[in-house]
Chain A
C-alpha cells in the first residue's frame, strides 16, 4: 500500500486540506501536494493504461520525466488532456480522469492487446499499411483510430486566458536547484539582469531531499537564504512553475509559466545574452522484466515522495541499482520507518560510504544481483532475484509492494542541444554530457549556452563508488524476458522492439526512433533515450557514441496551443482593419467580405432579402439612379520630388511623366517577370507630386515596392513617398444622379466642363474638405470623393441624407465586381494570378512603346510571353444565358498524357448580369481575341456542360457614353 506518513513533508501544509476527484472518486490531499503525490497518498498506484498494450501503469517518476501519469483534467472549457500529475499542483475541486482505458481503468478491454503483443511488434503500424492491403481499410484503421492517441482532444472552446511577455536579460538561468541558484547569485551580485526559472513548484532541486550541505549549511536552509537574497534584488526576476521549454537562435528563449489567476499560462519570449542550463539530471530506469508494473518506480522518485510530501510508495520496497545513489532511497525508506527487504546491486563489488551506511541500518545488500522478473498484476507483489551475470535463473523470491530502481543518471542536456551544442560520450559515467568545445553559438559566433551542475555532466558523486552500466537485467536475458522489459513506457517500446528494428535494418538512430516510436510523444524519451540507444548499439555491435543520439528539439515539455497563441484569440485573433464608415455599414445590414485584413461590405441586406437579391438591387439602383461605395480601402500613395515622374515611368508600364497636372491616368504595375501585379489610377497633384491609387489591400505592398526601388536601386533619384491610405476616407458616388447629389451639397463646380472625365479637383463640398476624382470603375457617371478620414462618417451620412431624393443606396463589393465585369474591366486577383501579363489581358494600350525601360519590360520580351498561342482575355457569352461555374476550364480536342481532357482556357470572372439579364464572363482563352464568335465548352462538376461564345469583354456601353457625361 502507498500511504501518507504521519510526519514530515516540508512541501505540504497539513493545515490546508484539499479535496479533489480521480475517476469520479473523491480524494483528499494537502496544499503543496502535486496530483501525483496526492494520488499516491490515497493508495492510487494504478494511474493509467499504456498506449499500445493497455498495460496497467503506475507513477514512475516525480517530475517532468513522468511518462505514465497523464490525465485529462477539468471539463468543458477548462478541459486539458495529457497533464502530467507530477507537475500538476493539487487544488480544491481538481477533477482528474485517467486516459487510454475503456470501459474503466481497473477493467480495460484494450488490455487484450497485451496478449496479442506478438502481433504488435516494432513498426507494426507501418506494416499494416503494407500487407495485406485490404486489412488496412477494414481492420487496422478502425481499430487504430479508436485506440490511438493519449488524451482526448478538447471539444469546447478554451475558457482560459493566456498571454505572452517579451523579456530581456543578461543571463537566463533555467533551473532553480543549487547550481542554478548559485549561478544566479553570482551574476546578480555582479549587477547583471537575471531571469531565473524553475519548472517545479519549489526551489532547491534534489539537494534538500538528498540531505546535501551547501557552504556548510543544510541545503534547505541555504536554498531559502539564496531565494530571499535574489528576491530582494531589483535586477533579478525569479519564478517557480516556469519551465524553459526551448532555446533558439541568437539567444531567443521560450518559457511557459503556469499561473493561477486571471491568466492561466504566460509564454515568456526572452532574449538572453547568455543562457545557463542548470537543468539537473534524470534518473534512468533499469531494463528488467516487468519493470513497468505499478509500484516499480525510479529510486529518486521514491525518495522525493517520502521526503518532500511524506508519502510512502509501499511498506516493503526492494531497491535495485547499479550505482550508489539509490542507497539514499533505501536509507530514506528505513528512516521513515518502512521496510527495505534488500538492495539488489548489479555491481559485483559494493563498498563505500553509502552502502556501508545502508548496511549499518541493517539493510541487506546483495552484490552482483538483479531482478529476473517483477511479480504482480496491477500492483507489485514481489520480485524474483537472479544473478546479473546470468540468464535469469531465479535464486530467490522476495515479497514486496514496491521496487525502487536506478540505472544511473543522465544530464538534462536539452537546452544545450536545442541550438546546436554538441555532446560527448563519457564512458566512466555512461552519460552524454555537453562538449564545451562545441557550444551553441550566437549572433557574434561565440558560445551563448553554458551548463552548470548535474546538467554539465558533473553528477556530484565523485566520492561515491563508480556506477556500472547495466543496459539489460540480467545481462544474458532470453527472448521471453526481453519482451517484458520496457524501455519507453509512454509508447510501449520494449528491449525486444529495438532489437527487432536493428535486425530489420533500422541502423540509424533516427530511423529506429520513428520505426519503434521510442522517445516520441509527450515525454520525448526523457527516461528512455539512453537505455534505448544502448540496446540499439549492442544490437548493431557499435559503440554508443558511434550510434549517437536523436536530435533534441524544443519544447522540453509540451506547451499548450493556448499559450503559444497568447492573446491572439477572439476579437484580437488578428487585426481587423475598419474604414471610418465601418460602424455605419454594420448598422445598415452589411454582409461582410474580408479583403486582406480589411472588412468591406459585400452587400447590404434589407429585411427579408437574400444576398443575391441584395446584389441585384444594388447593381440596378446604381445603374439607374445612384449608388455609394465606400472606397476608403483603396491604397493612396503620395510620390513627390523632381524625379517622381521618372520613378513612375519605371514602375508603371505606361507613361506617367507626361500626365498633366489636374488629370488622372489608369496605370499598370508589373514585376520584373513581366507579370501584372497591381493597377490603379494615378492623379498628378502638382508638377512634382503624384497620388497613386493601388488596389485595396495592395497599398502596403506597393509602398514597400516603391521604397525598395528607391532605396536599393535608384538611391540617387530625388523622390519621397508617403502612404496616405488611411488619411482619407473615399466614397465613390456613382450613377446617373451622381452629379445632382454633389451639386446639391454644393461648393464646387463639378460640371463636365470644369471637371471632365479623368480629371480631379480640390475644394469644399457641403462644408467638407474634398478632393474629387472623375474616374469610373462601373461605366457610370462617377465621382470618387476623398475627405479626411475623421470626417468620413459624417460625409457619408450627409451623402445618404442628401441623396434620398435621387434614390441613393449604398452598394457593396459584389455589385462593384459585377458592374466592372459588365464593362470588361479587369480585377487584380481575378483576371491575374501572377502568371498573366498586361498583353494577355488586351491592355497593350496601357503599355508605352516610347519608354526605353520599365519594370517588367525585359521579362515581357521573352519568347513564351509573346507566343500567339497564349491564353488571352475575351468575354464569354453563354448560349443558354446561364452562368458559367467559377473556375471552370474550357476543354479542347484530345487528351493529355495523363488521360485528362486537354484544356484551352479558363474562366476568370463569371456573374449573372442584372443589367443584361443573363450570365456573362471573362476568361483567358487560347488565341482568344483571334477567335471572336467561336464557341467554347466548359464542363461542369458533376456532369453537363456550358457552351459560351467568344465575344468582346465589354458587355455594356462599349462606347463609354454613360461614364462621360
Chain B
C-alpha cells in the first residue's frame, strides 16, 4: 500500500486516505476538438512499465488534488507536486533522471 506525501498539507498519507485519479497532464479537448484530439483526450492512456505521472486526491485529508511521479514497476516515488501545472517541473524531471538514467522524458 502506497504512501504519498500531499504537497499541500504535508501529510505522508497512506493510500486509504487518497483517491486515485488516473493519468496526469492530460490536455482537455473541448467542443471544437477534432475526432483524433478527442479520442486521445478521452481514451488514450500511457500505461507504462516504469516512470508514470498520476493524479491523486487527498480525499480524507485536505481535499486537494496533487500529482505524483512514480515507477509502476518498483513503486518508487520520485516526487509529488501540486496539480496547477501542465507538465512536471524540471526539479521532478531531474530527480527522475537521477534515479532512472535511461529515461527520456514523458512520451
Q: Which residues on A are within 8 Å of B, measured CB to CB?
A: 248-252, 271, 420, 441-445, 672-673, 704, 707-708, 711-713, 715, 852-854, 857-859, 861-862
List of 9 A-B pairs having minimum Cβ-Cβ separation, nearest first:
A445-B76, A853-B31, A715-B84, A857-B31, A252-B1, A711-B65, A712-B83, A250-B3, A853-B30
Q: Is the CB of B64 within 8 A of A858?
A: no
The yes or no answer to B9 lying at the interface (CB within 8 A) is: no
Q: Is the CB of B31 within 8 A of A708?
A: no
Q: Is the CB of A250 within 8 A of B38?
A: no
Q: Is the CB of B75 within 8 A of A443?
A: yes
Q: Is the CB of B1 within 8 A of A248?
A: yes
Q: Is the CB of A712 within 8 A of B65?
A: yes
Q: Is the CB of A249 within 8 A of B83?
A: no
Q: Quick one: which of B21, B65, B76, B84 contacts A443, CB cutoff 8 A?
A: B76
The interface residues of chain A lying within 8 Å CB-to-CB of B74 are 420, 441, 445
- Interface contacts beyond A443-B3, A712-B84, A854-B31: sample of 19 additional A-B pairs, CB < 8 Å, sorted by A: A441-B74, A441-B76, A443-B76, A443-B77, A445-B99, A672-B28, A673-B42, A704-B19, A707-B63, A707-B65, A708-B21, A708-B65, A711-B65, A712-B55, A712-B65, A715-B83, A853-B31, A857-B30, A859-B42
- B84-104: which have CB < 8 Å to A? 84, 99
Q: Quick one: which of B1, B32, B65 contacts A250, CB cutoff 8 A?
A: B1
- In the bound assembly, the distance between CA atoms of A292 and B91 in angstroms comes to 63
The interface residues of chain A lying within 8 Å CB-to-CB of B31 are 852-854, 857-858, 861
Q: Which residue of A lies closest to B2 (CB)?
A: A250
The yes or no answer to B11 lying at the interface (CB within 8 A) is: no
Q: Contact flags (1/0) for B1-45 with A, using CB distance below 8 Å?
A: 111000000000010000101000000111111010010011000
Q: Is the CB of B38 within 8 A of A859?
A: yes
Q: Is the CB of A704 within 8 A of B59?
A: yes
The interface residues of chain A lying within 8 Å CB-to-CB of B55 are 712
Q: Is the CB of A704 within 8 A of B57?
A: yes
Q: Is the CB of A250 within 8 A of B75?
A: yes
Q: Quick one: which of A249, A713, A853 contacts B75, CB cutoff 8 A?
A: A249
Q: Which residue of B lies closest to A716 (CB)?
A: B84
Q: Which residue of B lies closest to A671 (CB)?
A: B42
- In the bound assembly, the distance between CA atoms of A711 and B83 in angstroms comes to 7
Q: Contact flags (1/0) for B58-82 with A, using CB distance below 8 Å?
A: 0100011100000100111100000
Q: Which residue of A lies closest to B24 (CB)?
A: A712
The interface residues of chain A lying within 8 Å CB-to-CB of B65 are 707-708, 711-712
Q: Which residue of B lies closest to A166 (CB)?
A: B14
Closest chain A CB from B72 CB (angstroms): 12
The interface residues of chain A lying within 8 Å CB-to-CB of B71 are 445
- In the bound assembly, the distance between CA atoms of A264 and B29 in angstroms comes to 56
- In the bound assembly, the distance between CA atoms of A443 and B63 in angstroms comes to 23
Q: Which residue of B lies closest to A440 (CB)?
A: B74
Q: Is the CB of A252 within 8 A of B30?
A: no
- In the bound assembly, the distance between CA atoms of A271 and B42 in angstroms comes to 37
The interface residues of chain B lying within 8 Å CB-to-CB of A858 are 29-33, 38
Q: Quick one: which of B14, B19, B35, B38 contacts A252, CB cutoff 8 A?
A: B14
Q: Is the CB of B76 within 8 A of A249?
A: no
Closest chain B CB from A354 CB (angstroms): 44
The interface residues of chain B lying within 8 Å CB-to-CB of A251 are 3
* 7 A-B residue pairings within 8 Å (CB atoms): A271-B14, A444-B76, A707-B57, A707-B63, A712-B65, A852-B31, A853-B30
Closest chain B CB from A252 CB (angstroms): 5
Closest chain A CB from B56 CB (angstroms): 11
Closest chain B CB from A79 CB (angstroms): 31
- In the bound assembly, the distance between CA atoms of A249 and B75 in angstroms comes to 8
Q: Which residue of B lies closest to A857 (CB)?
A: B31
The interface residues of chain A lying within 8 Å CB-to-CB of B32 are 853, 858
Most interface-central of A712, A713, A854 (chain B CB within 10 A): A712
- In the bound assembly, the distance between CA atoms of A704 and B75 in angstroms comes to 26
The interface residues of chain B lying within 8 Å CB-to-CB of A673 are 42
The interface residues of chain A lying within 8 Å CB-to-CB of B63 are 707
- In the bound assembly, the distance between CA atoms of A191 and B21 in angstroms comes to 39
Most interface-central of B3, B28, B31, B77 (chain A CB within 10 A): B31
Closest chain A CB from B63 CB (angstroms): 7
Closest chain A CB from B51 CB (angstroms): 12
Closest chain A CB from B85 CB (angstroms): 9
The interface residues of chain A lying within 8 Å CB-to-CB of B76 are 441-445
Q: Which residue of A lies closest to B73 (CB)?
A: A420
The interface residues of chain A lying within 8 Å CB-to-CB of B28 are 672, 713
- In the bound assembly, the distance between CA atoms of A862 and B41 in angstroms comes to 14
Q: Quick one: which of B64, B75, B77 contacts A711, CB cutoff 8 A?
A: B64
Q: Which residue of B lies closest to A444 (CB)?
A: B76
- In the bound assembly, the distance between CA atoms of A249 and B1 in angstroms comes to 5
Q: Which residue of A lies closest to B37 (CB)?
A: A858
- In the bound assembly, the distance between CA atoms of A444 and B4 in angstroms comes to 11
Q: Which residue of B lies closest to A700 (CB)?
A: B59
- In the bound assembly, the distance between CA atoms of A250 and B1 in angstroms comes to 6
- In the bound assembly, the distance between CA atoms of A248 and B75 in angstroms comes to 11
The interface residues of chain A lying within 8 Å CB-to-CB of B30 are 852-853, 857-858
- In the bound assembly, the distance between CA atoms of A707 and B77 in angstroms comes to 25
The interface residues of chain B lying within 8 Å CB-to-CB of A712 are 55, 65, 83-84
**A711-B2 contact, Cβ under 8 Å, with A441-B74, A861-B31:** no
Q: Which residue of B lies closest to A703 (CB)?
A: B63
Q: Quick one: which of A420, A443, A704, A861 contacts B2, CB cutoff 8 A?
A: A443
The interface residues of chain A lying within 8 Å CB-to-CB of B77 are 443-444
The interface residues of chain A lying within 8 Å CB-to-CB of B3 are 250-251, 271, 443
Closest chain B CB from A857 CB (angstroms): 4
Q: Is the CB of B1 within 8 A of A672?
A: no
- In the bound assembly, the distance between CA atoms of A441 and B70 in angstroms comes to 13
Q: Which residue of A lies closest to B84 (CB)?
A: A715
Closest chain B CB from A422 CB (angstroms): 13
Q: Is the CB of A249 within 8 A of B42?
A: no
Closest chain A CB from B18 CB (angstroms): 12
Closest chain B CB from A306 CB (angstroms): 43
- In the bound assembly, the distance between CA atoms of A963 and B30 in angstroms comes to 38
The interface residues of chain B lying within 8 Å CB-to-CB of A248 are 1
- In the bound assembly, the distance between CA atoms of A441 and B76 in angstroms comes to 8
Q: Which residue of B lies closest to A441 (CB)?
A: B74
Q: Which residue of B lies closest to A854 (CB)?
A: B31
Q: Which residue of A lies closest to B57 (CB)?
A: A704
- In the bound assembly, the distance between CA atoms of A673 and B41 in angstroms comes to 11
The interface residues of chain B lying within 8 Å CB-to-CB of A271 are 3, 14
**A249-B2 contact, Cβ under 8 Å, with A445-B76, A673-B42, A858-B38:** yes
- In the bound assembly, the distance between CA atoms of A858 and B55 in angstroms comes to 23
Closest chain A CB from B84 CB (angstroms): 4
The interface residues of chain B lying within 8 Å CB-to-CB of A853 are 30-32
- In the bound assembly, the distance between CA atoms of A857 and B31 in angstroms comes to 6
Most interface-central of A250, A672, A854, A859 (chain B CB within 10 A): A250
Q: Which residue of A lies closest to B99 (CB)?
A: A445
The interface residues of chain A lying within 8 Å CB-to-CB of B84 are 711-712, 715
Closest chain A CB from B6 CB (angstroms): 13
The interface residues of chain A lying within 8 Å CB-to-CB of B35 are 862
Closest chain B CB from A950 CB (angstroms): 33
- In the bound assembly, the distance between CA atoms of A436 and B42 in angstroms comes to 44
Closest chain A CB from B89 CB (angstroms): 15
The interface residues of chain A lying within 8 Å CB-to-CB of B42 are 672-673, 859
The interface residues of chain B lying within 8 Å CB-to-CB of A704 are 19, 57, 59
- In the bound assembly, the distance between CA atoms of A444 and B80 in angstroms comes to 12
Closest chain A CB from B97 CB (angstroms): 13
Closest chain A CB from B46 CB (angstroms): 17
Q: Which residue of B lies closest to A715 (CB)?
A: B84
Closest chain A CB from B39 CB (angstroms): 10
Closest chain A CB from B41 CB (angstroms): 8
- In the bound assembly, the distance between CA atoms of A103 and B84 in angstroms comes to 71
- In the bound assembly, the distance between CA atoms of A249 and B65 in angstroms comes to 22
- In the bound assembly, the distance between CA atoms of A712 and B30 in angstroms comes to 15
- In the bound assembly, the distance between CA atoms of A629 and B19 in angstroms comes to 34
The interface residues of chain B lying within 8 Å CB-to-CB of A249 are 1-2, 75
